[in-house]
Amino acid sequence: MGGLSPRSSMVNTATGLEQILRRDRLVVLLALSSVVALAAAYTIMGVGMDMSALTMTRMAIEMPGMLMPPAQWSAGYAVKMFLMWWVMMIAMMVPSAAPAILLFSNVARKQQSQATPFLTTWFFLAGYLIAWLLFSLVATALQWAFEKLGLMTGMMEIGTPVIAGAVLLAAGLYQLTPLKKACLRHCQHPVLFVMQRWRPGRSGAFGMGLQHGAYCLGCCWLLMTLLFVGGVMNLLWIAGIAVYVAVEKLAGRWPLLPNAAAIVLTGSGLWLIARAISAI
């Protein structure tokens, strides 16, 4: 008498859970936004380089085609380059991974009756970022090789049109491969990924994040190499690639978008190569 009926208790419990999930999503979203904002600011500042990315972008716009001597590589400079790549990947890729991270947080909350899901969510994010850390190591080594071979200018862009065209062509053709399409499907449908790959605990969260990062890497790694074409620290180029990646991963209703990008990229690559050959 005077107590709540079982039905009312269930309704109250469901309402309470919905409120908690909304609060969790807000907290996780604010945390992700802070991570992206810090990474973006660090990228704009140039990650400790002698020249900020903003300055390099302005120079690229005001003085197109200007050549600068490549930097002299050392252990310290290599570390700076690696940090530049990794921080830039965080700023570019975390926004498009936000739906999967938020979904993981929701499921983690439902799986853990007493503990908050925030810690395991950070382990998921850490695994995701480790995948892009590995890419950043490879990208740093590739940049060093390009500069050592005299293929990259001091503006951190490929200075040989044929090589730049080949990168564009490769990125365009990769858009049409089964591997690209399979990885993109996983990125576009995080619900299926979380349901099929769910692992409990912190190690499980880290492993899931690493797996999701691997799919994301398989989807976007050649798009990231386009930074070598437009300039590794060209903010307009960085923003353009980041926006396209987000649209491609989040707009599943546009299945022909990768094909359209393939046409643009391959066409641009062939045009660059043909123009370079005709000028010989």
Mind listing the pLDDT tens digit for each residue in 37-94? Answer: 888 787 777 665 665 565 656 655 555 555 566 678 888 889 988 998 999 999 999 9
Q: How many helical (H) and strand (E) elements, i.e. helices and strands, does the chain have?
A: 11, 0
pLDDT exceeds 70 at position 241: yes
Q: What is the pLDDT of residue 119?
A: 83
Kindly indicate the confidence band of residue 2, based on its pLDDT and cuts at 50, 70 and 90. Answer: very low
pLDDT exceeds 80 at position 23: no
pLDDT exceeds 80 at position 138: yes
Q: List beta partners, residue 152.
A: 158
CB 164 within 8 A of CB 229: yes
pLDDT exceeds 50 at position 11: no
Highest mean pLDDT of the ranges 22-26, 162-166, 253-257: 162-166
H helix runs in 189-234, sequence order: 190-197, 201-224, 227-230
Question: Percentage of residues in the chain with pLDDT exceeding 70?
Answer: 79
Q: What is the pLDDT of residue 255?
A: 76
Could you tell me the CA-to-CA distances from 148 to 97, 135, 172 in Å, in that order? 34, 20, 26
Q: What is the pLDDT of residue 274?
A: 93
Q: At what angle do helices 235-250 and 75-111 cross, to 10 degrees?
A: 30
CB 134 within 8 A of CB 128: no
Say which range, 116-120, 212-216, 244-248, has the weakest mean pLDDT. 116-120
Helix (H) or strand (E) holding 97: helix 75-111
Residues whose CB is less than 8 angstroms from the CB of residue 88 and which lie 6 or more positions away in sequence, other chains included: 39, 43, 227, 232, 238
pLDDT exceeds 70 at position 141: yes
Ramachandran bin of 111, using left for φ above 0, alpha for ψ from -120 to 50, beta for the remaining angles: alpha
Q: What is the pLDDT of residue 233?
A: 81
Highest mean pLDDT of the ranges 21-30, 39-48, 165-174: 165-174
Question: Percentage of residues in the chain with pLDDT exceeding 90?
Answer: 37
DSSP 3-24: SPPHHHHHHHHHHHHHHHHHHH
* For range 172-179, the mean pLDDT: 95
CB 238 within 8 A of CB 60: no
Q: Between the CA atoms of 57, 61, 65 and 68, what dihedral angle is there, to the nearest 10 degrees? A: -30
Kindly indicate the confidence band of residue 279, based on its pLDDT and cuts at 50, 70 and 90. Answer: confident
How far is residue 243 CA from its own chain's centroid? 10
Looking at the whole model, is its pTM more than 0.85? Answer: no
Q: What is the pLDDT of residue 114?
A: 44
